[in-house]
Amino acid sequence: MDKTFLSEDILLKVDKPARYIGNEINMCIKDPAEVDIRIAFCFPDVYEIGMSNIGMQIIYGMFNAREDTYCERVFSPWFDLDAIMRERHIPLFTLETQTPVRELDMLAFTMGYEMCYTNILQVLDLSGIPMYASDRTDSDPIVFGGGTCAYNPEPIADFFDFLYIGEAETRYDMVLDLFRKHKGDRKTFLREVSHIEGIYVPSLYEPAYNEDGTLRAFTPKYEDVPARVKRQTVIDMDSVRFIDRPVVPFIKVTQDRVVLEIMRGCIRGCRFCQAGMIYRPQREHSAEYLKKYAVKMLEITGADEISLSSLSSSDYSGIKELLDFLIEYTSKKKVNISLPSLRIDAFSLDVMNKVQDVKKSSLTFAAEAGTQRLRDVINKGITEEDIMSGSLEAFKGGWNKVKMYFMLGLPTETDEDRNGIGELCERIAENYYTIPREERNGKVQIQASSSFFVPKPFTPFQWAGMKTAAEYTEMAHQVKDHIREQLNQKCIRYAWHDPEVSVLEGVFARGDRRLSELIVTAYRNGCMYDAWSDSFRADLWKKSFEECGISPDFYNRERETDELLPWDFIDIGVSREFLEREWNNARLGRVTPNCRQQCAGCGARSFEGGVCFEDKN
């Protein structure tokens, strides 16, 4: 690195200057003059969040494995540096070479949550790139994106030249080969790239609306542009490129550990969970692949913790073999093992006893609902008996702190379901005191918290309605008042998330292309870092809705199953018929077995080479 836009006096003025200097261990170094394609790869949040994202590490390594490509990283500057850059007209630059983003060929975004949308505009704005794709010329970088939010790209479609639908490993080489062929000819490249399966070019499609504001039609502008875009999926997980040189940050990041992705997909079928649907079918790495990966990553990074990443780690078929290996290996290296997404059963508790210190950390139950009736509605796949027996075994094993996660505002929810949150926590506390006093580990502590239900595309609840922020707040107060006034246990603490954020997330989750004006207006009104509670400005968002004449209620209403949805042009493999059937089952309180028990005919078996549990039996 032979230049920098940030002088010493600037770095001394900003919080955590190491966010902006690059030069970390394993940072990719190439000669820009020796490559054909330069990509600025952005996680639109602060450095510590982005560098904790395993997807970013995977794609960074994948792009840089190409000899003709140099992928450099970009993150959103925090408010302090943002202000200085605007005042001194400093362009946003890459960490690797301190090159202005606008001078690179492509700008890629990975988007994991809707509340990052104003930060996407911040990055474009500071880079000097027109926010709207329609305003860009051949001298501007091609702006593209992917990630979970791409499964309904319409609210941000006007900002992107193209979006990638699915898992990155399958099609990006084809995309980059095509870009190299048509470099400098934006129009030809975008028309041609739309022919690659999984690629969506918003400018080549035209939405039309009914008088009531609902979507009437969504059609390609040209005959050669596909009417539907099919999600791309890796079937052979061991074919995924091994991260052999992960970038090791200088500063502590949000997840300061080695992350071991053990599988993708989930067999459980929770009706509120988007990830459980869009990543079907479940696909696993082999235990041998993971053992090799774990050792290599720990050696390279020197990390003192390794975490298993998946939607439901207990469902990984090689979990015992893998954990036996990790426990033996890490015990010699003084490395901790983190086990998120474990179902609380006898096996899991036995494992946790082996990997945790004598001082037990909190035990987590994602019960989601306070009554069994509502857990059946959402198809959670966990019974009260599971919760009570699991907690009792944990208490006997030395745990005395429990975290309970719930959602409020779920479809069909009643006062009884809300009161059930505190009552379930109370029964767990009473469970603790069935253990003889001499065997207890102090007093039991239960921390319960509620998020608010947000219906997501490609879930059985995609047609469900949302409540207003005021209604959500009233629900949370009902739960808190019931715990304080009606229950005997004083060991229960209850908190809830910001309902204003949930309502906005719901608008974007199921929004259409008309929301781009809202996002631009909110950004210009001062909205940024909306995922951060300290910087979220509900008043500015309210002002922006009013200025644009847009009502959150329109987007958060219950939808009819025959309504054309903004994301219906995307084929994720799970059929609309299955989702509608599950929506009906939810309202009838019917439980659908998980994939290991019985195939529910969701459609995910349509992926070539995909294996469902019915095929294995």
| Closest to 410 in 3D by CA, of 449, 450, 351 | 450
Taking only the tens place, the pLDDT of each residue in 333-362 is 888 888 777 777 666 777 777 666 544 567
pLDDT for 454 beyond 90: yes
Q: Which amino acid is at 41?
A: F
Residue of 162, 53, 349 whose CA lies nearest to 153: 162
β-pair partners for 206: 219
Give the range among 147-156, 236-245, 564-573 with minimum mean pLDDT: 236-245
CB atoms closer than 10 angstroms to residue 61: 19
Asked, as a colleague might, if the bond just before 100 is cis with ω within 30 of 0, I would say no
- The amino acid at 566: P
H-run or E-run covering 156: none
The answer on pLDDT for 517 being more than 90 is: yes
> Chain-wide mean pLDDT for the chain?
93
Top-ranked range on mean pLDDT: pick from 227-241, 248-262, 334-348: 227-241
Per-residue model confidence (pLDDT) at position 361:
64
Q: For residues 284-291, give the mean pLDDT.
A: 95
Cβ atoms within 10 Å, residue 27: 18
536 Rama class: left (phi>0) / alpha (psi -120 to 50) / beta: beta
Which two three-digit tokens encode residue 517?
Answer: 């004006």
Give the range among 86-100, 145-159, 381-395, 417-431 with minimum mean pLDDT: 381-395
What are the φ/ψ torsions at residue 424 (nearest 5 degrees)? -65, -45
Rg (CA), the chain: 25
Q: How far is CA 18 from CA 12, 55, 250, in A?
A: 11, 22, 7
**pLDDT(257) > 80:** yes
Please state the rounded mean pLDDT for residues 92-118.
97
CB 173 within 8 A of CB 125: no
Instruction: Report the alpha-carbon distance of residue 155 to residue 158 in Å, rounded.
Output: 8
What are the residues whose beta carbons fall under 8 Å from the beta carbon of 239, sequence distance 6 or more? 169
Residue 614: the pLDDT is 47
Place of tokens 């998980």: 594
Residue among 368, 365, 344 at smallest CA distance from 270: 368
**Exposure pattern of 66-91 as b/e (b: 16+ CB <10 Å)?**
beebbbbbbbbbbeebbebbeeeebe
**Interacting residues of 532 by C-beta distance below 8 A, sequence separation 6+:** none
Mean pLDDT of 68-84: 98
The pLDDT score that the predictor gives to residue 610 is: 47
pLDDT at 617 over 90: no
**HSE toward the beta carbon, residue 392, CA cutoff 13 A:** 13
Mean pLDDT of 46-63: 93
Per-residue pLDDT band at 60 (split at 50, 70, 90): very high
**In the block, which residue shows the tokens 């509900």?**
538
Span of 246-260, 279-293, 350-364, 441-455 with lowest mean pLDDT: 350-364
Count of positions (residues) in the chain: 617
Please state whether beta strands 305-309 and 106-110 pair in parallel, antiparallel, or not at all (unpaired). unpaired
Cα separation, 425 vs 491, whole angstroms: 9
Under a CB-based contact definition with an 8 Å cutoff, are residues 343 and 365 in contact?
no
Is the pLDDT reported for residue 616 higher than 70?
no
pLDDT at 356: 61
Q: How does strand 199-200 pair with strand 162-164?
A: antiparallel
What is the arithmetic mean of pLDDT over 357-370? 75
Q: Which two tokens stand for residue 423?
A: 């009552």
Nearest residue to 77 via CA among 60, 59, 89, 93: 93
Q: Which of 177-181, 328-332, 565-569 is the least confident region?
A: 328-332
> Smallest Cα–Cα separation from 477: which of 423, 430, 422?
422
pLDDT tens digits for 535-548? Answer: 999 999 999 999 99
pLDDT level of residue 1 (50, 70, 90 thresholds): very low
Q: Any alpha helices (H) in 334-468, and if so which ranges?
A: 346-355, 372-377, 384-396, 415-432
Q: What is the percent of the chain with per-residue pLDDT over 70, rounded to a whole number? A: 96
Residue type, 11: L
The type of residue at 320 is K
d(CA 23, CA 94): 11
Question: Pairing relation of β-strands 215-220 and 205-209?
Answer: antiparallel
Question: Which of the residue ranges 145-154, 201-210, 301-310, 494-503 would you say has the lowest mean pLDDT?
Answer: 301-310
Bond into 32 cis (ω within 30): no
- Rounded to 5°, the CA angle 131-521-149 comes to 60
At residue 396 the predicted structure's pLDDT band, cuts being 50, 70 and 90, is confident
The three-state secondary structure class of 116 is helix
